[in-house]
Amino acid sequence: QDLASFVGRFKYVRVLDSNPHTKIISLLGSIDGKDAVLTAEKTHFIFDETVRRPSQSGRSTPVFFHREIDEYSFLDGITDLKELTSNDIYYWGLSVLKQDILHNPTAKVNLIWPASQFHIKGYDQQDLHVVRETPEMYANMVVPFIQEMCTSERMKWVNNILYEGAEDDRVVYKEYSERNKDDGFVILPDMKWDGINIDSLYLVAIVYRDDIKSLRDLGPKHRDWLIKLNKKIKTIIPQHYDYNVNPDELRVFVHYQPSYYHFHVHIVNIRHPGVGEERGAGKTMLLEDIIEALGFLGPDGYMKKTLTYVIGENHELWKKGFKEEVQKQLEHDGIATSPEKGSGFH
């Protein structure tokens, strides 16, 4: 039972989403009668070793990771090239590049099986809305929702990584002792990364402490801990990747709302575009900004802050009151929601 055999048995139902910008397609289907979500993402190009990005600081950051695979790079790897048209100094055409499952795969394939309704809805195309989440909305709607989302079933993959040795061979860094559990964390490649191209480097740091469900639980007492965590991430990761990525080239952030309510930090190469927003919803909060804000948010930290972010209509919270709140907020602000209800503002 591996990915290939599952994909072979995948019975297609419909396209959930297809995004030409991110080059990701998600399909809904079933395997052995249970729902499955199959996602494919075209991998990024691999460049020749000699292609280096000029750097202002005199530092030359290679955009290239595996130096031995020149034959697969864009340019050397072109096996077919056909011009479509040209006009003046402009030429365009199509090409085929040399592919290889180890060195230059075509796509990264992800499968969720069996997929819950949460998974399916998360990948499904949906209309999005900007919402202001007040502390009251958090207490009344989000807290019960988080409780519902923290089932051991849904958190299984996290606990597998923390305690059961799952993905062990891929772990980049781990710091853990029974005595000092609250400081422990593990860094490993995120499911979103193809693991090959450093340009699209995507790691996730998962902490051992389980008292922080989300950004909302962060207060001033966590500030020093976060400063330490940030420093470690930015020291360890460039080192681990042989400085093919530098500390100031890492976007270190958390999501709100996250998909999983156990504190974790995303670590992404800044060259990776629009990352975290692929599925439209949510908010990306840089760890640096969080640390800064905790210095002045007051004793309750993020608990007392109103957070504005984007939410999709498929999100449970939309159905659990956020929809009505958005309407109320617009009315309260005197903002018309349709031309007929004009505010006389011309």
Q: Is 264 a catalytic residue?
A: yes
* Rounded least distance, CB 20 to ligand M7G, Å: 21
Binding-site string for ligand M7G from residue 166 to residue 185, where x marks contact by CB under 6 A and - marks none: -x------------------
Which residue bears the tokens 């299984």? 156
**Site for ligand M7G contains 259 (CB under 6 A):** yes
Q: Establish if 118 lies at the interface with ligand M7G (CB under 6 A).
A: no
Helix or strand or coil: residue 54?
coil
Q: Report the residue number, 176 or 260, with the smaller CB distance to ligand M7G.
A: 260
Among 49, 190, 277, 313, interactor with ligand M7G by CB under 6 A: 190
Ranges of H-type helices in 3-76: 3-9
CA distance 71 to 143: 53
Q: Are 112 and 16 in contact (CB under 8 A)?
A: no
Q: How many residues bind ligand M7G (CB under 6 A)?
A: 15
Which range in 15-23, 145-153, 255-263, 289-297 contacts ligand M7G by CB under 6 A? 255-263
> Does 191 participate in binding ligand M7G (rule CB under 6 A)?
yes
In this complex, which beta carbon is closest to ligand M7G, that of residue 16 or of residue 188?
A: 188
What is the residue whose two structure tokens read 């061979």? Answer: 169
Three-point CA angle 332, 335, 341, nearest 5°: 110
* Smallest gap from residue 50 Cβ to ligand M7G (A): 33
Min dist. Cβ of residue 336 to ligand M7G (A): 32
Judged by CB under 6 A, the residue of 108, 119, 192, 223 near ligand M7G is 192
Angle at 182 between CA 160 and CA 206, to 5 degrees: 40
Least CB distance to ligand M7G at residue 339 (A): 34
Residue written as tokens 């031309």?
339
**Interface residues for ligand M7G in 265-284 (CB under 6 A)?**
266, 282
Q: Which of 89, 305, 321, 69 is nearest to 197 (CA)?
A: 69
315 forms part of the interface with ligand M7G (CB under 6 A) = no
CA distance 23 to 219: 38
264-269: strand order across its sheet: 173-175, 185-189, 202-207, 264-269, 250-256, 283-286
69-89 residues labelled b (16+ CB within 10 A) or e (exposed): bbebbbeebeeeeeeeeeeee
One of 74, 118, 157, 309 touching ligand M7G (CB under 6 A): 157
Out of 204, 252, 294, 311, the residue judged to bind ligand M7G by CB under 6 A? 204
Interaction of residue 309 with ligand M7G, rule CB under 6 A:
no
Q: Residue 255, interface with ligand M7G (CB under 6 A)?
A: yes
What lies within 8 Å, CB to CB, of 268 at 6+ separation is: 201, 202, 203, 250, 251, 252, 253, 275, 276
What is the distance between the alpha carbons of residues 21 and 199, in angstroms, rounded to a whole number?
A: 16
Q: Which is nearer to ligand M7G, 168 or 182 (CB)?
A: 168
* Active site positions, annotated: 264
Binding site for ligand M7G (CB under 6 A): 157, 167, 188-192, 204, 255, 258-260, 264, 266, 282
